[in-house]
Structure 1
Amino acid sequence: MDVMTLIGIGLLTGLTTVMFGFGGGFVAVPVVAWADAGLGTDAMRVATATSALVMVVNAAFATAVTRRRVLAELRGSAALLLLLAAGATAGATASRFAPPDPVRWAFVAYVALTVVDLLVRPGFLRPRGQAGEASKAPRPLPAVLGVPMGAIAAFLGVGGSVMTVPAMRRAGHTMHVATALANPLTLVIALPATAVSLCGSTAPTAVHAHVNLIGLVDPGAAAALLLGALPVILVLRRHPPRIPDRAHAWTYTGLLALVATAMLLSG
């Protein structure tokens, strides 16, 4: 996969960062896995590590340009943030020793189950406070969810938004707020995951495949993706598109199904 293609896909990661809170990693995992397919069994491990770096930069930038009144919804969530980081550290460390093929199928299975959950269980496509229900103030996410959320997100490379957006949606937030808050939560998860990936040993297949890695991170692929993503994040944060809340939720669900299908077909 050439640099221009990666930059083009980076544009999509910027869009998903702003619109869906994915931080870009959700798109980066299958893309980098394809780009570094020459690494064989190490491709998924490198894709997960590289996606964490992409998520750090995208999520940090998106958080920096998010309105303060939206970020204020996380006030009092210090315990949740600390536990997310702790879980992410454990998940990223475990991913270094896990067989890559089971991780790939676990990625697909988790996303597929998430899609089914969003479609079947009430609260996401039809949130509290709509369709004639009494409006209620959003509830904070329980801090106890931090460790499992962080561990699963870092281990599979799915990004925090796959869990935090549905959770915040069911807690009473609109899609606009839930996806915006997913960026700082993703940053907390991706930072320790990236640190673990950068400090580890390089994948042994990298020399034979002529891929230059830093630890398990492919810096060339990450740079190309970020080159496409960051301008899109800046523009869309300054001029956010107006999407009806329900259509926003359905599009989020559809994108999850699309990525799960792409990963399934790539296997």
Structure 2
Amino acid sequence: MFVLVLIGLLTGLTTVLFGFGGGFVTVPVVLWAEAGLGDSAAQVAVATSAAVMVVNAAVATSATSRTILRHLRDSRCLLALLGLGGIAGALLARLVPGAIIQWGFVTYLVGTIIDVILRPGFFRPTARRTIDCRQEFAIPTSLGLPIGASAAFLGVGGSVMAVPLLRRAGLGMGVATALANPMTLAISAPAALTFLADSGPGSPAGVALVGSVDVGAALALLLGALPVIVTLRRRPPRLPDRVHAVSYVLLLVAVTMTTMLAALR
């Protein structure tokens, strides 16, 4: 539990800096912590990740500038479809073998890393866009359902899919990652409720499961994360845009390697 609290500190940092909500860090860590559950470990990891992301993303969103959030003013349909996708992804995660979730997580991360490195527009946005709420949002409404379903199924939240799209629309990393938090909230809230209502894999000794969510692990992660989110939202770190983008990719690489090690155990 002490290790989970320390990892929670990292999830708080990634929530503020990268809009992850904790999903990328939480999934491999919970996979490691729940290895005794066997094939059910992946489902519990994704469910616990969703529960943690709801709280982290909600706190981060509440502290985000209203000027930035106005980007989403005309995106209600997109947010609704993200939520429906979150429910679909959570239901699907209950039906497939854990290995598919684990290796799907790794495969998606690898694909994202290759995409942001090889395709132009991530490290150096081609057209810098000002914060103007009258502009059409960068992510088409039609992508809401597949993004929400994929994110909830893999436990990654919305950042890994949203940030590259927002970057290629010309937004700076600070704005793109801030907008990822309300999108993560839209996906993770219905997904977490679905996981909590699930019958779950059964609670072995020492593990308190509500549905498929490991409540003890979620609370330990939040205990570490929330003070960091509150502190950094009040005094946000200022990173050069390119350094911010490179750090995002390096974190994806680190999480990919960690997840592969957890999957191979």
What interval of TM-score do these two structures reach, taking the shorter chain for normalisation? Answer: over 0.9
Paired residues of 1:128 and 1:136 also in contact (CA < 8 A): no
Q: SS of the residue aligned with 1:44?
A: helix
From 191, 216, 228, the equivalent of 2:224 is 228
Paired residues of 2:13 and 2:228 also in contact (CA < 8 A): yes
Letter in 2 for 1:115: I
Query: Which residue of the partner structure matches residue 121 of structure 2?
Result: 123
Q: Give the drift of 1:266.
A: 1.7
Q: Structure 1 residues 178 and 136 mapped into 2: Cα distance closer, same or farther (>3 Å)?
A: closer
Query: Which residue of the partner structure matches residue 190 of structure 2?
Result: 192
Q: Give the drift of 1:202.
A: 2.3
Q: Deviations over 1:210-236 (max 9, x none)?
A: 312000000000000000000100111
Q: Deviations over 1:165-223 (max 9, x none)?
A: 1111111111000000100000000011101100011213x33x531200000000000
From 12, 15, 30, the equivalent of 1:32 is 30
From 195, 205, 208, the equivalent of 1:212 is 208
Query: Which residue of the partner structure matches residue 83 of structure 2?
Result: 85
Provide the C-alpha distance between the structure 2 equivalents of 1:202 and 1:77, rounded to a whole number of angstroms: 34
Provide the C-alpha distance between the structure 2 equivalents of 1:129 and 1:150, rounded to a whole number of angstroms: 27
Q: Give the drift of 1:25.
A: 1.5
Q: Deviations over 1:131-165 (max 9, x none)?
A: xxx98977512100101100100011111111011
- RMSD across aligned C-alpha pairs, in angstroms? 1.5
Letter in 1 for 2:208: N
Aligned residues: 260
Provide the C-alpha distance between the structure 1 equivalents of 2:113 and 2:187, rounded to a whole number of angstroms: 22
Q: Flag structure 1 segments of 5+ consecutive residues without an equivalent.
A: none
Q: SS of the residue aligned with 2:201?
A: coil
From 238, 246, 250, the equivalent of 2:246 is 250
Paired residues of 1:129 and 1:136 also in contact (CA < 8 A): no
Query: Which residue of the partner structure matches residue 163 of structure 1?
Result: 161
Provide the C-alpha distance between the structure 2 equivalents of 1:107 and 1:192, rounded to a whole number of angstroms: 20
Paired residues of 1:129 and 1:135 also in contact (CA < 8 A): no
Q: Flag structure 2 segments of 5+ consecutive residues without an equivalent.
A: none
Q: Give the drift of 1:129.
A: 2.6
Paired residues of 1:124 and 1:170 also in contact (CA < 8 A): yes
Q: Deviations over 1:48-94 (max 9, x none)?
A: 00000000000000001111111111111111101111111111111
Query: Which residue of the partner structure matches residue 50 of structure 1?
Result: 48
TM-score, with structure 2 as normaliser: 0.95
Paired residues of 1:85 and 1:150 also in contact (CA < 8 A): yes
Query: Which residue of the partner structure matches residue 182 of structure 1?
Result: 180
Q: Deviations over 1:225-261 (max 9, x none)?
A: 0000001001111111110001100100110111011
Q: SS of the residue aligned with 1:159?
A: coil
Q: SS of the residue aligned with 2:10?
A: helix
Q: Structure 1 residues 159 and 135 mapped into 2: Cα distance closer, same or farther (>3 Å)?
A: closer
Letter in 2 for 1:90: A
Provide the C-alpha distance between the structure 2 equivalents of 1:105 and 1:82, rounded to a whole number of angstroms: 28
Letter in 2 for 1:37: A
